[in-house]
Amino acid sequence: MTLNISFNHAIYPLSFFYDYDSIKIKEYSNKILLPQTILENITHDERIKFPLFFYIKHNERKIYLSVDKFVPDISDIYIPNHIFEQLGIDYGKIQELFIDYKSLKKGSKIVIQPHDIEFFKIKNPKLYFETHIQKSYHCLSQGDIIRLVYGDKFLDYNIIKTEPKINISTLDTDIEVEFEKPLNYVEPPIKEKTNIKKIKDLSYFKKMIKFKDNEETFTPFKGKGNKLGNN
């Protein structure tokens, strides 16, 4: 039987938090700040399984979230701005936050679509994705748009598919990663042999990749992907 426990609080973007400078890196995550009272209310509830996963439903969207920390002197919920915009919530609206008491299934595969060809400039994709997924996205859902910091800017990615379920945990699990063409990628015209070679060189994102230790690039393969573990 599915059991959902919920709380009602006003919800704001992270930028409204009084100590925003200390947590602004969480803008590139799906981690949220919650009132300490929520933790106090569930601490002795034996139905709750850890790690905790939360979700918000609004305008036919359902987005899973993990908690960054419980804060003792707040009564509102603070979420990353890009998620706030995806949900289309008004500032300060009283919103129902659900705790999914059951543990999410560990992910086995994700299909990702970069929004921008800037993705091709990433020198060490293995380190880049391991670092940001492990630290910032402990849960993913099919249909999510995730935002990862990249230098002094950010890159967005569509989560096209997740397996074995549409909502998965990325904690301590082996995940196969497949990339689709960036949204703004345009096939170059084939006018000469050198162009053909260039197109072949860019074809790796159509295939499965495997992150290999101590390599600066990723290699096409068919099989298991990288292991995403705990922080």
Claim to verify: residue 118 and residue 60 sit in the same structural domain: no
CA distance 50 to 130: 22
pLDDT, mean of residues 190-206: 55
Q: How confident is the model at residue 195 (pLDDT cuts 50, 70, 90)?
A: low
What digits encode the pLDDT tens for the residues 81-90? 999 999 999 9
CA distance 183 to 199: 17
Across the chain, mean pLDDT equals: 84
At residue 171, the 3 state secondary structure works out as: coil
Q: CATH code at 186? A: 3.10.330.10
Claim to verify: residue 91 and residue 172 sit in the same structural domain: no
Q: CATH code at 40? A: 2.40.40.50
- Residue 141, judged by CB atoms within 10 A of its CB (0-12, 13-18, 19+), counts as buried
- Domain termination residue (choose one: 41, 76, 100): 100
- Domain termination residue (choose one: 83, 100, 117): 100
CB 163 within 8 A of CB 170: no
Q: What is the pLDDT of residue 207?
A: 46
Has residue 53 got a pLDDT over 50?
yes
Q: What is the pLDDT of residue 5?
A: 86
Q: What is the tally of structural domains in the chain?
A: 2
Claim to verify: residue 156 and residue 135 sit in the same structural domain: yes
Has residue 175 got a pLDDT over 90?
no
Paired with 13 in beta bridges are 79
Residue 223, both tokens:
């099989």
Range(s) of the domain holding residue 53:
4-100
CA distance 204 to 136: 26
Claim to verify: residue 54 and residue 127 sit in the same structural domain: no
Claim to verify: residue 16 and residue 85 sit in the same structural domain: yes
Claim to verify: residue 91 and residue 117 sit in the same structural domain: no
